[in-house]
Structure 1
Amino acid sequence: MINVRTLAGGASLLALAAAGPALAQTADAPPPPDAPVSDAPAMPNEIVVTAQKRAQKLQDVPLSIVALNTEALAERNVRSFNDYAKFLPSVSYSSYGPGQAEVYFRGLSNGNRLSTGSLPTVGVYLDEQPVTTIGSTLDVHVYDIARVEALAGPQGTLFGASSEAGTLRIITNKPDTKGLAGAVDLTANTVAHGKAGGIAESWLNIPLSSRAALRVVGFYQYDGGYIDNIRAPQGVRYPTSGIVRDNKDLVGKDQNSVEAYGGRAALKVDLDDNWTATLGAMAQHQTSNGTFAYKPSQGDLVISRFLPEAQQDKWYQASLAIEGKLGHFDLTYAGAYFAREAQYTSDYSDYAFLYDTYYASTPDYFGNNFRNNAGKLINPAQVVSQDERFTKQSHELRIASPSSDRLRIVAGLFYQRQTNNWRNLYTVPGLADAQSVTGLPGVNYANIQFRTDRDYAAFAEAAFDIVPTLTVTGGLRAYKYDNNVIGFFGFNANRSAVGEALCFPGTIGAYGTSGDSGRPCDNINTKATGSGTRHKLNLSWKAAPGKLVYATWSTGFRPGGINRRPTAPPYAVEKLTNYEVGWKTSWLGGKVLFNGALFLEKLSEAQFAVTSDQNGITDIVNAGRARSKGIEADLTVSPSRGFSVQASGTLVDAVITTDLCKYTNAAFDCTIPSEAGNPNERRAPAGTRFAGSPRFKLSAMARYEFAMGKLDAFIQASAFHQSTVASSLDVAEARLIGHQPTYTTVDLSAGVSRETWSASLSVENVADRRAQQSRTSTCSISLCGPGSVVVYPLRPRFVSLRVGRRF
Structure 2
Amino acid sequence: MTTILEAKTRVPLFRVFLLAGTLMASPGAALAQSGSDTATTASEAIDSADIVVTALRRNTRLQETPLAISATSGEALAAAGSSSFTDLTRNAPSLRIVDSGPGQRRVLIRGIQSSGEPTVGVYYDETPVSGSVSTSSDAAGTTPDFRLFDVERAEVLRGPQGTLFGSGSMGGTLRVIFEKPRSDKVEGAVSANLSTVEGGKEGYSIDAMVNLPIIEDKLAVRFVGYYNKFAGYVDNVILASDPTAKNVIDSTPAGDPFLRNDKDINDGYAAGGRALVRFTPSERLTIDLAAFYEKVSTQSPGWRLEPSAILGRKYVTSARARAGNYDENRIYNGTLHYEFDGFTLVGVTSYFDRDRVAVSDVGDTFNGRDTAAGCRQYLLRNAGTCTDAQLASYLPATRAIQQSSLYQPQSVKNWVNELRVSSNNESPFQWTAGLFLEDRKTVVRSTLLTANPATGSLYDVDDPTALAYDRTIFDYLKQKAAYVELSYKFFDQLTFTAGTRYYDFRKRVGGKIDVGQIHYSSVVTPYTEAKNKEDGFIYKFNLAWQANPDLLFYAQAAQGFRPGGVNQVIGLPAALAGYSSDSIWNYELGAKTKLARGIYFNLAGYRIDWDNLQVSARTTGTGSVFGLIANAGAARIWGAEAELTADITSNFSVSGNLGYTDAKLSEDQISTIVTATGRKGNRLAFIPKITAGIAAEYTHELNDDMEAIARFDASHVGRSYSTLSPADIYRRLIPAHEMANLRFGVQQPDNDWGLYFYINNLFDDTAINSSSSSANTGGLTNTFSAPPRTFGVNVTKRF
TM-score range, shorter chain: 0.7 to 0.9
Kindly indicate whether residue 469 of structure 2 is the aligned counterpart of residue 465 of structure 1.
no
2:790 to 781, 793, 798: 798
Note closer, same or farther for the CA distance 1:430–1:806 as it changes in structure 2 (3 Å cut): closer
- Structure 1 692/371 Cα, relative in aligned 2: closer, same or farther at 3 Å? farther
Q: Secondary structure at the match of 1:97?
A: coil
Q: Among residues 593, 603, 618, which one is paired with 1:611 in the alignment?
A: 618
Query: Following the alignment from structure 1 to structure 2, what is the Cα–Cα distance between the partners of residues 804 and 371?
Result: 64
- 2:586 is the alignment partner of 1:594: no
- 1:95-134 to structure 2, matched below 5 A, reads 95-111=99-115, 118-133=116-131, 134=139
Per-residue deviation, 1:193: 1.1
> Are residue 702 (structure 1) and residue 696 (structure 2) matched?
yes
Q: Deviations over 1:51-76 (max 9, x none)?
A: 11111111111100111111111111
Aligned pair in 2 of structure 1 residues 603, 374: CA closer, same or farther (>3 Å)? Answer: closer
Aligned to 2:734: 740
Q: Decide which of 713, 721, 725 is 1:730's aligned counterpart.
A: 725
CA shift at 1:439, angstroms? Answer: 10
Aligned to 2:304: 294
Q: Note if contact 1:684-1:731 (Cα within 8 Å) is conserved in structure 2.
A: no
Matched length: 729
Secondary structure of the corresponding residue to residue 672 of structure 2:
coil
1:539 shift after superposition:
0.6
- How far off is 1:278 after superposition? 0.8
Q: Paired residue for 2:660?
A: 651
1:629 to 635, 638, 648: 638
Alignment partner of 1:350: what SS? Answer: helix
Equivalent in 185, 190, 193 of residue 199 of structure 2: 193
What's the counterpart of residue 365 of structure 1? 377
State the one-letter code of the partner of 1:331.
L
Aligned to 2:178: 172
SS in 1 for 2:721: coil
Task: Kindly indicate whether residue 743 of structure 2 is the aligned counterpart of residue 749 of structure 1.
Answer: yes
Q: What is the CA distance between 1:446 and its match in structure 2?
A: 3.2
- Residue among 318, 323, 330 paired with 1:304: 318
- Residues 495 and 731 of structure 1: is their aligned pair in 2 closer, same or farther, counting only changes over 3 Å? closer
Give the Cα separation in 1 of the matches to 2:301 and 2:28. 35
CA distance 1:550–1:543, change in 2 (3 Å): same
Cα offset for 1:26?
7.8
Unaligned runs of 5+ in 2: 1-16, 132-138, 240-248, 380-385, 454-460
Change (3 A) 1:714 1:392: same
Secondary structure of the residue aligned to 2:727 is helix
Q: Matched residues in 1 for 2:607 and 2:521: separation?
A: 46
Q: CA deviation at 1:346?
A: 2.5
> What is the aligned partner in structure 2 of residue 264 from structure 1?
274
Shift of 1:644: 1.1
Equivalents in 1 of 2:27, 2:492: separation in Å? Answer: 29
Q: Which amino acid aligns with 1:649?
A: L
Provide the C-alpha distance between the structure 1 equivalents of 2:440 and 2:339, rounded to a whole number of angstroms. 31
Asked if structure 2 preserves the Cα contact closer than 8 Å seen for 1:683 and 1:731, the reply is no
Encode CA deviations 1:678-703: one digit per residue, 9 max, x unaligned: xx7x7332011101111100000111
Determine the C-alpha separation between the residues in 1 that align with 2:369 and 2:235.
26
Where 1:296 maps in the other structure, the secondary structure is: helix
Give SS of 1:356's match: coil
**Equivalent position of 1:350 in the other structure:** 364
Q: Distance in 1 between matches of 2:735 and 2:791?
A: 25
Matches within 5 A, 1:171-570: 171-209=177-215, 210-231=217-238, 245-246=255-256, 248=258, 251-298=261-308, 299-353=313-367, 355-356=368-369, 361-366=373-378, 378-381=399-402, 382-428=404-450, 441-489=465-513, 492=516, 498-500=522-524, 503=525, 521-522=526-527, 524-565=528-569, 566-567=572-573, 568-570=576-578
CA distance in 2, matches of 1:51, 1:370: 64
Contact 1:748 1:762 in 2 (8 A): yes
Is 1:144 aligned to residue 150 of structure 2? yes
Tell whether the 8 Å contact from 2:90 to 2:694 is kept in structure 1 after alignment: no
Aligned counterparts of 1:316 and 1:69: Cα–Cα separation in 2: 24
Alpha-carbon shift at residue 497 of structure 1 (Å):
6.0
Q: Is the 8 A contact 1:164 1:576 kept in 2?
A: yes
Gaps of 5+ in 1: 1-12, 112-117, 238-243, 432-436, 504-520, 667-673, 675-679
Correspondence for 1:669: none
Seen in structure 2, the aligned counterparts of structure 1 residues 177 and 430 have a Cα distance that, compared at 3 Å, is closer
Go from structure 1 to structure 2 and tell me whether the alpha carbon gap of 1:496 and 1:376 turns closer, same or farther (over 3 Å shift): closer
Instruction: Report Cα offsets for 1:650-673 as digits up to 9, x if no partner.
Output: 001011111135xx427xxxxxxx
Taking the aligned partners of 2:331 and 2:194, their CA distance within structure 1 comes to 29
How far did 1:564 drift?
2.1
1:136 is displaced (CA, Å) by 1.1
> Deviation of residue 273 (structure 1)?
2.6
Listed one character per residue, the Cα deviations across residues 232-265 of structure 1 (whole Å, up to 9, x for unaligned) are: 898989xxxxxx7335298311111121111111
Q: In 1, are the aligned partners of 2:157 and 2:174 still within 8 Å (CA)?
A: yes
* CA offset digits 1:443-496 (Å, max 9, x no partner): 333331011111100111111011211111111111100110111258638777
Match of 2:680 in 1: 686
Task: Work out the CA distance in 1 between the residues paired with 2:350 and 2:378.
Answer: 48
* Corresponding residue SS for 1:530: strand
* Corresponding position of 2:134: none
Find the aligned partners of 2:712 and 2:391 in 1 and give their Cα distance: 56
Equivalence for 1:160 = 166
**Counterparts in 2 of 1:440 and 1:163: CA distance versus 1, 3 Å:** farther
Q: Tell which deviates more after alignment, 547-556 or 207-216.
A: 207-216
Q: Percent identity over the alignment?
A: 28
Going from structure 1 to structure 2, the CA distance change for 1:302 and 1:211 (only over 3 Å counts) comes to: same
The TM-score with structure 2 as length reference comes to 0.86
Q: d(CA) in 2 for partners of 1:553 and 1:575? A: 13
**Structure 1 residue 618 displacement after superposition:** 0.7
RMSD between aligned residues = 3.0
Secondary structure in 2 matching 1:74: helix
Q: SS of the counterpart of 1:703?
A: strand
Q: Which residue of 2 aligns with 1:577?
A: 585
The 2-side partners of 1:375 and 1:391 are apart by 40
Change (3 A) 1:290 1:584: closer
Does the 8 A contact of 1:737 with 1:789 survive in 2? no
Task: Give the 3-state SS of the residue equivalent to 2:76 in structure 1.
Answer: helix
Q: Quick one: distance in 1 between partners of 2:255 and 2:329?
A: 38
Q: CA deviation at 1:430?
A: 11
Q: What whole-Å deviation, never above 9, does each CA across 1:566-595 have from its counterpart, x for those lacking one?
A: 31231111011110011111012x232001
Displacement of 1:38? 9.9
Label 1:373 to 1:469 Cα distance change in 2 as closer, same or farther (>3 A): closer
Q: Distance in 2 between matches of 1:81 and 1:375?
A: 46
Query: Is residue 21–residue 87 contact of structure 1 (8 Å, CA) maintained in 2?
Result: no
Moved more, 635-644 or 527-536: 635-644
- Does the 8 Å CA contact 1:20/1:635 hold for their aligned counterparts? no
- The within-5 A match list for 1:753-768 is 753-754=747-748, 756-768=752-764
TM-aligned CA deviation for residue 757 of structure 1: 1.8
